[in-house]
Chain A
Amino acid sequence: MILVLPIILPLLFMVVLIFTRRWLFFQQAFSLLASIVLTFVSALILADVYQNGIMAVQPGSWEAPFGITLVADTFSALMMTTTSFVAIIVMIFSPGFIDKERQTAGYYPLVFGLLMGVNGALITGDLFNLYVWYEVMLTSSFVLIALGGSAEQLRGSIKYVTINFIASIFFVSAIGILYGQTGTLNMADLAAKMRTWEGGSYINSALMLFFIAFSVKSALVPFFFWLPASYHTPPIAITALFAGTLTKVGVYTMFRFYSLFVVFDQQFWQIFILTLAGLTMFIGVLMAASQFDIRKILSFHIISQVGYMVMGLGIFTVSGIAGAIYFTIHNMLSKTNTFLAGGLVYQRSGSYDLKYLGGLYKASPFLALLFFIPAMSLAGIPPLPGFFGKFFLIKGGFEAQQYFITAVAILTGLFTLFSMVKIWNEAYWKKEPEDVKVKNGKVHPSTFVATALLALAVILLGVFAGPVMEISMNAGEQIVNPEMYINAVLGR
C-alpha cells in the first residue's frame, strides 16, 4: 500500500500549501519538511523493490488488465528517490533566491503538483493514466514557468506550452490507435499481447507517434528547440528543478516503452535510436559551445546529455542500460547543481552573461569550487560520478560492439569539457571586465547551503559508485527482461 503514497502525499501537501499560501515562513518550512518526507517514502520503496522485486498495487480493487495498476521497479523507485532529493535541495535554495511575490503566488503548491505528476508518471502501469500524469506534471510546469509574468517569461512559456501541447496530442493519438488495435491500455497486458502480435502495421505508426511525443518531451534531436528557448526565462531555481526532473521523465518513459513494446522489432529501432542519440549528443554540445549566457549553455547541455541516456537505451544490454541509469541519476544531481551554482553567480554579480562576468575565483573561491565540482562531473573527470556514468556507458557500448556511437560519445565528452571550461574561464578566471561595472551582491546563506549540499551529494555519488551501480544493474536487468514486469503486474 506504500506505493500510493508518492502520489497522495504530494497532493495532500499541495492542498495544505494552497490553504496557507500567505504565510511565507510556514510555506518554506513545510515544503522543506514535506520533500524530506517524500524522499524518505521513495527510499523505502526503493529498498523494498531492490530486495523483493517489482511491486504492483491495484488501486480501487480492479484487477490488472482492467483497472489502473501502479508498478514500481528499481528504475522508477530510483528515479523517484532522486527527484524528491532534488526537490529537497531546491526547497532549501528557493527562499533565498526567488522573490517574495512569486513565493506567495503559489510557487510551493505548484512544485508539489509537479512532483505529484512526476511520481505518478514514474509508477503508473496504464497508458492513459500515464498521459494524465504527464499533463499534471506539464500543467504545473506551465504555471511555474510563467509565474511572475515578466515579458520574457511569457514569451518563453508560450513556446513551451504550444510545443508540449502538440506533443501531448501525438501521445493521445498513439494511445487511441493502440487501444483500437489491441483493446487494452494496461502496459503489461499490452506487452504480453505484442509478443504474439500478428495484426498488421498500425502498431508501428502508434509506436512512432509515441516516439515523437517522448522525443519532444525529453528534447531529442530534431525536437529539442523548445528547451533552450524557454528554460532560461524563469528564476533559475525553477529551471534547476525542471532540468533535474522533466526531461528525465521523458527519458524514463522511453526506456519503459522500448523495453515493453519495441524489443520485438529491434533491428529497425536500434539503429534509429542510436542515430538520434548520437546526433542529440553532438548537436547539443556544439550549440552549447556557441552560447554566452550561462543558463543557455547549461540548457543546451541538458539536450546533449539526454543523448547519452538514449544511447544506453539503444545499446540495450544490461550493462548499457545500467550505465544509462547511473548516468541519469548523476545527471539529475549534477545538472541541478550547475544551475544552482549559476544562480549563485547571479546573486553575486547580477548577471548570467559571460561577457559581463569575471574575477569570481579571486573574489569568492568557495563559489568557484561549488561550480567546479558539478561542472567537472558533467565533463566526466574522475572521481566524480560523471566519469563513472560515461565509463559504464562506453564500456557497455564496446561490449555490444557499437563502436561508432561510442566514438561519438567520447568526442562529445571532450566538447562538454570545453564548454564547462569556457564558463570557468570567463566567469571565474578572467579578470573583471573593466568597461562594465560588476555588481557586488551578497549570496544568501540558504542558496549557498543548498548548492553545497548538492555538491556533496554529487561527490558521494562518485565515491559510492559501486553500490549505486549495483542497484542500476538490478534495474537494467528488469528493463532488459520485461517478463519480470509483465508477470508482476498480471500476477502470474
Chain B
Amino acid sequence: MESIILQIAARHMRPLLVVLSLIVLYRGHNEPGGGFIGGLMFGAAYILYAMAFGVEKTQKSLFFNPINLTALGLLVALLSGIPALLLGNSFMTGEWYTFFAQTAFELKLGTPLIFDVGVYFAVAGMLMLVMFSIMEE
C-alpha cells in the first residue's frame, strides 16, 4: 500500500505514540494505564509504520528484534521480584522508595514499576512479532 498521506502520518505519529505509550506506562502506577496498554500503544506505533512503509523497512528501522524485546521484558519482570528477596521479604513483594521526599518533586518509585516495564516490553514485542508475521508476504 503506497499512500503518501498514511506515510507522512505514520512518520510523524510514530515518535508521538511512543512517547504517549511511555506516559501511559508511568501513569499506570496510580491511575488507569499501565504496562499492558502502554505496550500495545508502542506496538501499534510500529504496526502503523509497517502498514505505511512495509514490514521490511520497519524491521530495519528497529534496532532490536521483537522476540528479543519480549525476552527482555520477561527478564525485567522476573528481576523485579529479586530486590524483595535481598531485603529479606517474600519473592515479588512490592518495595517502594521515595525520592526527593517532602519537596515539590516528590517521586515514589518501586519494584511494581519495574514489573510494569517488563510487561510493557513483553507485550510490545509479542504484538509486533505476531503482526509482522501476518503482514509479511
A11 proximity list for chain B (CB < 8 A):
74, 78
A57 x B71 contact (CB < 8 A): no
Complex Cα distance A15/B78, Å? Answer: 10
| Interface assignment of B75: CB less than 8 Å from any CB of chain A | yes
Contact residues of A between 1 and 21, Cβ < 8 Å to B: 1, 4, 8, 11-12, 14-15, 18-19, 21
A60 proximity list for chain B (CB < 8 A):
84, 90-94
A57 proximity list for chain B (CB < 8 A):
90-91
Residue total for A at the interface (Cβ-Cβ under 8 A): 15
The answer to whether residues A59 and B90 also contact, given A1-B85, A15-B75, A15-B78 and a CB cut-off of 8 A, is: yes
Could you tell me the distance in whole angstroms from the C-beta of A488 to the nearest C-beta in chain B? 16
Query: Which residue of B67, B68, B72, B90 is within 8 Å of A61 (Cβ)?
Result: B90
| Interface assignment of B70: CB less than 8 Å from any CB of chain A | yes
Tell me the total A-B contact number using a CB cutoff of 8 A: 45
The answer to whether residues A18 and B68 also contact, given A59-B90, A60-B93, A61-B89 and a CB cut-off of 8 A, is: yes
Looking across the interface, which residue of chain A has its beta carbon closest to that of B71? A18
Looking across the interface, which residue of chain B has its beta carbon closest to that of A1? B91
Looking across the interface, which residue of chain B has its beta carbon closest to that of A106? B67
C-beta contact mask, A262-292 vs B, less than 8 Å → 1, else 0? 0000000000000000000000000000000
A19 proximity list for chain B (CB < 8 A):
68, 71
Looking across the interface, which residue of chain B has its beta carbon closest to that of A17? B71
Query: Which residue of B68, B71, B91 is within 8 Å of A59 (Cβ)?
Result: B91
Complex Cα distance A435/B87, Å? Answer: 72
Interface centre among A1, A4, A15, A19 (most CB of B within 10 A): A15
Complex Cα distance A59/B81, Å? Answer: 9
B74 proximity list for chain A (CB < 8 A):
11, 14-15
| Interface assignment of A141: CB less than 8 Å from any CB of chain B | no
Complex Cα distance A4/B85, Å? Answer: 11
B91 x A12 contact (CB < 8 A): no
B92 x A59 contact (CB < 8 A): yes
Complex Cα distance A15/B91, Å? Answer: 19
| Interface assignment of A58: CB less than 8 Å from any CB of chain B | yes
Could you tell me the distance in whole angstroms from the C-beta of A146 to the nearest C-beta in chain B? 12
Q: What is A's interface to B at a CB cutoff of 8 Å?
A: 1, 4, 8, 11-12, 14-15, 18-19, 21, 57-61
Q: What is B's interface to A at a CB cutoff of 8 Å?
A: 67-68, 70-72, 74-75, 78, 81, 84-85, 89-94
